[in-house]
Structure formats: structure tokens, C-alpha cells
Amino acid sequence: MKPNILLITADQWRGDSLGLAGHPVVRTPAIDRLASEGVAFLRHYAGTAPCSPARAVLYTGLFQMNNRVCRNGTPLDDRFDNIARMARRAGYDPTLFGYTDVSPDPRVHDPDDPLLTTYEGILPGFTVRLKLPEHEGPYLSWLRGRGHDVADTCAAHRAVDPAEVSSAPPVYSRGETPTAFVAGEFIRWLSEQEEDRPWFAHVSFIRPHPPFIAPEPYNTLYDPASGPAFAARPSVAEERGLHPFVDWQIDRCQKAHFIAGASGMAADWSEEQRRIIRAIYWGMISEVDDQFARMRQAMEVAGAWDNTLVIFTSDHGELMGDHHLFGKGGFFDGSYHIPLVIRMPGHDGARGAKVEEFTGAVDIMATLSDILGVAPKTSADGHSLKPFLDGTGPEKWRDAAFWEFDFRDIPHQKAEEHFSLSSRQCNGSVLRSDAFKYVHFAGLPPLLFDLRSDPAETTNVAADPAYRDVRLEMAEKLLAIRAEHLDQTLALTELTESGPMSRRS
């Protein structure tokens, strides 16, 4: 019998913020338990950021250089295959709870179609059970039905304490969070499933995405004074001096993006305030962990757990005060290192394993293709993780993580004007190995970090003559990755006297 498939994404979850990853403070017993029954990929990276581009990589198995979703609002070319369409070919009815942030291809829609007025579209192929866009309308309606007077998301997610940064809770309780709402809808749907028909569910949680606020007990679960030091230069001014892109990023990081009702720039927050926000963020992670435990219990009661393939991951990370920044984007590890735990029923050979090889969001499509036995219809940039799940391991694997980021501003041209670049030049690529990280911009100076002596990424040695050979080697490797992964959809096909001949790689 085919397995059930549960794909969970928890938005903006840092890869280091897990108990199983050895975090000194954060506790995630439910995800840790899942990892003890499956495989944890400890060096897993998003393909890009923010949400829409990151999810395009996850859903298509294509690097940004091929799927070309550059920003929130960039349409996803309808010709690309994706996990939902592939699951349908495998006999599933893939069902969504939450959101996918996929902007539809305008070429296959009428110009007046309202779907073309928002980036919060649905990945083609999904049946939608619960759509929860940024305005959170269904959730707010649910809260009002429970007696809360909340006019909008700002009112719902504002702390009861008037202080700008506070660990005070919101008006809703631990059982009334957006995560609890989505988990409850999944559990209700689960009770409707036929026992002999495998299902595919994508549960897309918004948390721990901002606004950063948590109900009791999560709001005070962690001591703000605890935890590691922030990865940063000593002052905001010194951080700005690292690179022109970082200087620009600091100028764009507004408090209101992270705390409901706040005003001003996030760089003005003190270290004490950053620590309070970080403790709340960790509490939000624990809240998601508890809701996953609730979902698991429901699946166990329904008799579905033992035959369910579970993939737990995120779309991208969160800087969370590192480099005097919040949010995601740019090139720092905090934005791209994300969790991945996979539990595959009947595969106990690697039970409890922790994989140290570099893996990426681009590998999820290839992994599902391998497990389901259904080939993608468009070329894939990732590789199947199934050998890790089997306990054998692949014969050959990558020795570095690769990701991209794009900062063009098509509607307003703010980035283009600030840097005097064209939209085509507003992008960068990153190659991150054990020892070094190389950042290549299309129109700005490069960066090179020696991670052995500078794990916090505070010193750019790209111009240091002592690192010239390393910089050249990393640049050549990055060029080779881009050359190897150019779109191969038809390039691996040739028309011959016997007809079309194709290869997979």
C-alpha cells in the first residue's frame, strides 16, 4: 500500500533552533522524537529567500536560476512540474492547509482575473482545504467566533502590554494560535479520510514567521538572557561597513515587519530588546512543536501514523538579531539554514541518523519522485535523499551548499536606483563549504568568509591576497554549478533517425 504523505513547512524556522541540532536553549521534543524515528539533515539549506522564491525551489526542484521566481510576486512559469502535479500522477489528491505563496503565470489567465493581483496564489495541482493568506481572514473569523474582538491581524497579534518590545501575550490563548487553527483543520480533515485510500497533505504553518508574539506559556518559556551571543560586528555602524548590500539591508529593516504596531528601524533596538524578541521567537517554535505533537496523536488514533511519510522543513530561515538584522534575505547563514527531518515508514536502516552532508530544498522534489516512482516532467536540479533514508548513503554527494538571492524591485526600482544597477544585475549567488563561504554579486563586490576562524561571518577577506587562490577556486566552483544546472528540459533530448532520444542526466 502506498504511504500517506505529510509535508509540513513552518515558515521562517532557523536550522539551528532545534533540540536535536544541539541548540543550548530551544526544546523541540516532538520534532526530536520524529528525528529519532527517521533522519535529521543537519546542514540543510533553502534555495533562496523570501517566501515565494524559496517555495518555488521547494515545490519545483529547480534552482532559482531555472524557475526564475525572483521575488514575492514573480509568476511561476506554468510549464514547470511541481510536487502537487507529480503527486496527482501518482494517484494522490494533494490537499493544502495554509498557503503556498505561488504567483500564477499571467499567460494562462485572463488579464482581469483577480488571481493576478496577489502573490499569494496556490501551487497548481493542489486541492485547497484551508487557504490562509497574509490577512488571515479565516483565522480571524474563527477567533471572533471564540469571543475575541479582533478587527485585523495587527489587532490580533499585538501584545496586551503597550510597550514596543514586550514578552506580554496577545489576546488569544495557546489553543487559539494560527498554528493551532491550521492543525485543527488538518485533524478534522483527517477524520474524513477513508482508511484504504492513501492521502497527501501539505500543512503550511505561518509560524514562527512574524509578527513575533506568543501566548502563555510560550511567551515566557525562555529566558531572554540565555542563549548564544548574536553573530554580529560590535556595532551597527561597523556592520554597515561589511558590504554595501548589508548597509542597504539595514536601512530597509523596519520594526513594523516584526512587531505589530511598532515604528522605526530595527537597527535601533538594543541588545536587550533583541534578546526579548529572540526568546519570543523560540517560544513560537515550541508552540509549533506542540501542535505537531497534537497532529501526530490524531494520526496515531486514526491508525494513519505507521504508514505516513513525514517531511518537516521550512521555506527559509530568520536572522533573528544576527548582524543587527531581522528577517531573511542577503547571504548570511541565518537566512538559509533550515531544518529538515524525514521519517519514512518501513525504513529503519537509518533510524535516528543525523546527516552532516549538505542538502537543500531543491532535493525534496527529487526525493518524492524517487519514493513515489513518478518522474518529474521538467528537469530537476536536486538529488534524491532516499539513499540517506535507506541507511546506505549515496555513492557521491555535493561538498557545499548553493543558494541564490535576488533583490530587484520591479514596481518601484528602489534597489536599482540605490545601487545604480539594472534589475538583471540585482542578484547574488552563494557557495558555502565547510571552510569557506563565497558570495558573488552580478553588480557589486564579492565577499569571502573564512568560516574556520570567522564562523559569525564578520570579516570579508575577498580582497586579502592571502586568500586569492581560495577566492578563485570558489568562484570557479560556483561557475561550474551554474553551468551544470542550466535548464536541461529539452537539452537532454535529441531528434534522431529513430525518433527522439532522451537521458535523465
Q: Which residue has the cell 513515489?
A: 372
Give the DSSP H or E segment for 297: helix 271-302
pLDDT at 318: 98
The count of other CB atoms within 10 Å of the CB of residue 114 is 8
**pLDDT tens-place values along the chain, 505 residues long:** 899 999 999 999 999 999 999 999 999 999 999 999 999 999 999 999 999 999 999 999 999 999 999 999 999 999 999 999 999 999 999 999 999 999 999 999 999 999 899 999 999 999 999 999 989 999 999 999 999 999 999 899 999 888 899 999 999 999 999 999 999 999 999 999 998 899 999 999 999 999 999 999 999 999 999 999 999 999 999 999 999 999 999 999 999 999 999 999 999 999 999 999 999 999 999 999 999 999 999 999 999 999 999 999 999 999 999 999 999 999 999 999 999 999 999 877 789 999 999 999 999 999 999 999 999 999 889 999 999 999 988 999 999 999 999 999 999 999 999 999 999 999 999 999 999 999 999 999 999 999 999 999 999 999 999 999 999 999 999 999 999 998 888 888 899 999 898 877 6
Q: What is the DSSP string of 146-201?
A: TT----SHHHHTS-SS-SSS-----SS-GGGSHHHHHHHHHHHHHTTS-TTS--EE
Phi-psi region of 198 (alpha: psi -120 to 50; beta: other; left: phi over 0): beta
CA dihedral 65, 70, 76, 77 (to 10 degrees): -50
Q: Are 361 and 335 in contact (CB under 8 A)?
A: no
Directed axis angle between helix 178-190 and helix 271-302, to 10°? 10
Q: Are 312 and 227 in contact (CB under 8 A)?
A: no
Q: Are 428 and 421 in contact (CB under 8 A)?
A: no
User: Residue 211 has what DSSP assignment?
Assistant: S
Q: Are 102 and 77 in contact (CB under 8 A)?
A: no
pLDDT at 195: 86
Sequence ranges of the domains in the chain: 4-399
pLDDT at 162: 81
- Answering whether pTM is above 0.85, one says yes
pLDDT at 171: 95
Find residue 200's DSSP bridge partners.
5
CA dihedral 86, 87, 92, 94 (to 10 degrees): -110
At the fourth CATH level, the homologous superfamily of domain 4-399 is Alkaline Phosphatase, subunit A (3.40.720.10)
User: Residue 94 has what DSSP assignment?
Assistant: -
Asked if 426 is an active-site residue, the reply is no
Query: Among residues 437, 355, 406, 462, which one has the least CA distance to residue 21?
Result: 355
User: Residue 265 has what DSSP assignment?
Assistant: B
pLDDT at 490: 83
pLDDT at 163: 86
* Residue of 51, 70, 253, 426 marked catalytic: 51
pLDDT at 251: 97
Q: Are 20 and 35 in contact (CB under 8 A)?
A: yes
